[in-house]
Amino acid sequence: MWILDARSRGDIELWVKDGGACRLIREKQRPYFHLHLPDPHAYLSMLEALERDYGAEERRFRTIYGWLDGYRVYAGRDVADRIAKHSHLSARLYDVDVRLEQRFMAEKGLFPCGNQGESRLSPEFDIPLTSLKIEVDGNPPARQGHTLHRGD
């Protein structure tokens, strides 16, 4: 399966080439981020509200500095910003800006323009690449017909 494109619009959408056919795969993915508080007991009411309103759950998670005990909060950046403000910036927030489609592919071991099981760091690919040359006559090229505007 060769991933041609990925985006998130509520669901994760992957455009893939499987064999000779192209198809769209849709997967559900809820946004989330990780939260670590140096003193969770000082923020019990906030944690209870996060659990009630967003389904936050206790979680041990890995950072580039090692493992931390904290919470996975199923919400977006707006909630992370409110947590930072409420905690007077003592909360440590992780994965707030990771795009949903990037997170999904990382969790599944997938990457664009490669097949499952291949290394994303390898310069060798099984798909033969071709080139296309496009030339435009005239200087500057004349544009005829309908011009697209935002919102069309």
The pLDDT tens digits of the residues spanning 104-148 come to 888 888 888 776 677 777 777 666 667 777 777 666 555 565 554
Query: What is the mean pLDDT of the segment spanning 61-89?
Result: 94
**6 and 42, same domain (yes or no):** no
Decide: 103 and 111 in contact? Cβ < 8 Å. no
Query: Residue 17: inside a domain, yes or no?
Result: yes
**16 and 58, same domain (yes or no):** no
Domains in the chain, number = 2
**80 and 39, same domain (yes or no):** yes
What confidence score (pLDDT) does residue 124 get? 72
Q: Strand 92-94 vs strand 33-36: parallel, antiparallel, or unpaired?
A: antiparallel
Long-range contacts from 12-17, C-beta under 8 angstroms, 24+ separation: 12/100, 12/101, 12/104, 13/101, 14/101, 14/105, 14/110
Query: What is the mean pLDDT of the segment spanning 72-80?
Result: 95
What confidence score (pLDDT) does residue 152 get? 43
Query: What is the mean pLDDT of the segment spanning 50-54?
Result: 96
Say how many residues make up the chain. 152
Kind and range of the H or E run holding 106: helix 100-108
Q: Tokens for 122?
A: 């390898």
Query: Residue 42: inside a domain, yes or no?
Result: yes
* CA–CA separation, 6 and 26 (whole Å): 10
Query: Residue 10: inside a domain, yes or no?
Result: yes
**63 and 22, same domain (yes or no):** no
**Comparing C-alpha atoms, which of 95, 47, 86 is closest to residue 68?**
95
The residue range of the domain holding 81 is 33-94
**74 and 106, same domain (yes or no):** no
Query: Residue 78: inside a domain, yes or no?
Result: yes
